[in-house]
Chain A
Amino acid sequence: MDIQRILILLGKEARLGATNFMSIYVLVMPVILSLLIALVFGDLLAQTPRLGIYDASDSQQFIQPLLDHPSINTTLYGSQDALTRAVERGAEEIGLSLPAGFAEAMRSDSAQVDFTVYRWGEAGVRNLLLLESAVGRAMAEGIGSGIDQLPVGVNAEQLGSANNLTWSQRLLPLLLIMSIVLGGLFIPATSLIDERQKHTLIALTTTPATLLDVYLSKTLMGFILSALMAIIILLLNGAFAGHVALLLLVIALGGLLSSVFGIILGSVSKDMDTFMGIIKAAGILLYAPGILKIFPQVPEWIGRIFPTYYLMNPLLEVTQNGAGLADIFVDIAVMVVLAAALLILLNSVIGRQQQKLALET
């Protein structure tokens, strides 16, 4: 193995990939789908958190910072009824109902002040966190205390659908699998098959570069694209959140799995038609967990049958539920075991490939 030659070959992969239709397709497709979903279901154009407020008396000093807040859309409602209706239909993600005498009670050193917060059932976790934080900070600034010392009692009430996943969030798993698997699997596989069919692979391996160097460069290309696409899709969907290091670890493992699987598939596929046939026949196994996730009523255990579940699940847990390492340890362990198995298989494939290549020319 020669790092310098691997990087030279990686440069060649990038150069050829830039003009290759398949590369462009697998890179652009998830982005286009992501944008389409965002347009159709509104998350892209309405990402700003929405807050509705009904103020029964004069609590301007608490409301004004929220009205001036640059990152949230705040609307004042004239009645409690109007506010709850707005939250119920999803026009507001959080409704804040401030009772009469709220401001005075907050300023006095008297006991706890109670008020009601209405939460739209389909509001995203990210927006809810942002809104709750903004409301807390506005109140703390209003009385000059810390957020954790606020003398308030919150009555939380959920309105609207009980499902707290938006359509964008439901489709995100499928998009993530598409981006990671398409980039990681297709690029090394198609590049390898193409080089074998055009006999350029034999030209490379009769130089001082080894077949392992060539394989690693293609796998690395798939890994990089896969990780890059996963990050882009998460960013586009406003889901690059949670423990970033953990998220990157999961993305890296997913990229490794996909690219190694891709290069193995490329090695065993006789030609491009065979490869596409395998993908058409077995593609459902890759995408199934993402498809199942669209339907929350489908039991979770069904998804666990498919290997890509162990990539999708930790990504969602980290980005949507703020999970830590302990929460997704099992998923990561499964991915590590799968990666080890694939690497052993790859080693065996490379061993047989050199003779096979010579016989094909």
Chain B
Amino acid sequence: MAQPAIAVKDLSYSYGDILAVDDISFDVAEGEVIGFLGPNGAGKSTVVKMLTGQLTPQNGSALLLGMDIVKERKQVQQEIGISFESTNLYEQMSAVENLDLFAKLYKVSDFDAMGLLEKVGLGGREKEHVASYSKGMKQRLMMARALVSDPKMLFLDEPTDGLDPVSTETIHALIRAATQNGATVFLTTHDMVEADKLSDRVAFLNQGRIVALDTPARLKQRFGMRALKVEVELPEGGAEEREITLDEDQTPQAVFDLFKNERILTVHSEEATLEDIFFDITGRGLQG
């Protein structure tokens, strides 16, 4: 079996008395996109900070690309790219200057800042001060900065939070392109649609613990309740919505009876969302 890109074992971190990350373990395969889902305060950012060398774990260990995140911190950081949740660009410098600075710090030879800026849709604005950019443009530049060293692993913390659809789609395309090139992506988000769309597997984090970790499809299969929503015409006029839960023993008979006895106006199948599943497992929503 190939060595996992990320191998986390019994990782813990506390802020004083508050246990932020509670003894979590998981592996991420090379080239995989893992979505870390959880409400604010669930411990997502603390996990990212430990894996990217910003915080030293208080317990447990983690290997990234076979390197220990504590003992080989700088070697790990040479191989990763990070897009932070809050904008942290040099706003008095241009986009090209920002990217060139980081490319030099990674000692990237023959770095093509313009090519990268074209990819993130910032071509033509490359010489303007970043301070004049919109939030979406800054987020795209942050993504470009994470890519300057052509990293083997990307850590993306809420990369599309509060962005317009065009910027969101640009960033999604960049993530897909990075995975096609073999990069492993660690995506932290509380946007379940984004996680569902991009992730090979998702991990639900609640109160510092991983409460579920699987592909979105299997999670839906395991925890979600599929249903059929049917709109029927009432004899006295008007319409009424009926719901038949799928995957139960009595489902075929219920569907048969409904179609036999009622006049059907519309039929829709309904799948559980990741948010529904998270709520079912933890009893709280992702936005909480």
Verify that A and B bind, or say they do not.
yes
- Given A15-B97, A207-B106, A208-B78: A202 touches B88 (CB 8 Å cut-off): yes
Complex interface: chain A residues within 8 A of B56 (CB): 355
Asked whether A15 lies within 8 Å of B91 as measured between CB atoms, the reply is: no
CA A4 to CA B55, docked complex, whole Å: 26
Q: How many interface residues does A have (CB within 8 Å)? A: 27
Asked whether B82 lies within 8 Å of A206 as measured between CB atoms, the reply is: yes
CA A358 to CA B102, docked complex, whole Å: 19
- Encoded as 1 (CB less than 8 Å from any B CB) or 0, chain A from 1 to 43 comes to 0001100110010011001100000000000000000000000
Asked if B54 lies at the interface with its beta carbon under 8 angstroms from chain A, I say yes
Q: How many interface residues does B have (CB within 8 Å)? A: 28
CA A62 to CA B91, docked complex, whole Å: 68
CB distance from B135 to the nearest CB of A (A): 15
Complex interface: chain B residues within 8 A of A20 (CB): 92
CA A67 to CA B284, docked complex, whole Å: 97
Asked whether A8 lies within 8 Å of B105 as measured between CB atoms, the reply is: yes
- Encoded as 1 (CB less than 8 Å from any B CB) or 0, chain A from 178 to 222 comes to 000000000000000000001110111111111000000000000
CB distance from A194 to the nearest CB of B (A): 10
- Given A208-B105, A209-B105: A198 touches B55 (CB 8 Å cut-off): no
Asked if B53 lies at the interface with its beta carbon under 8 angstroms from chain A, I say yes
Asked whether B101 lies within 8 Å of A198 as measured between CB atoms, the reply is: no
> Which single member of B49, B55, B80, B88 contacts A200 (CB below 8 Å)?
B88
Complex interface: chain A residues within 8 A of B106 (CB): 207-208
Asked whether B49 lies within 8 Å of A358 as measured between CB atoms, the reply is: yes
Asked if A359 lies at the interface with its beta carbon under 8 angstroms from chain B, I say yes
Complex interface: chain B residues within 8 A of A354 (CB): 54
CA A358 to CA B77, docked complex, whole Å: 15
Asked whether A206 lies within 8 Å of B88 as measured between CB atoms, the reply is: no
**Interface residues in chain B, defined as those with a beta carbon under 8 Å from any beta carbon in chain A:** 15, 49, 52-56, 74, 77-78, 80, 82, 84, 86, 88-93, 97, 101-102, 104-107, 145
Q: Can you list 7 contacts pairing A with B, beta carbon distance less than 8 Å?
A: A12-B90, A15-B93, A203-B145, A206-B53, A210-B74, A357-B54, A361-B49
Other contacts beyond A199-B86, A205-B54, A206-B82: 18, CB < 8 A: A8-B101, A16-B90, A198-B91, A199-B84, A200-B90, A203-B82, A203-B89, A206-B52, A206-B54, A206-B80, A208-B77, A208-B105, A208-B106, A355-B56, A357-B54, A358-B54, A358-B55, A361-B84
The list of the 6 closest CB pairs from A to B, nearest first, reads: A358-B54, A199-B88, A207-B105, A358-B55, A208-B78, A8-B104
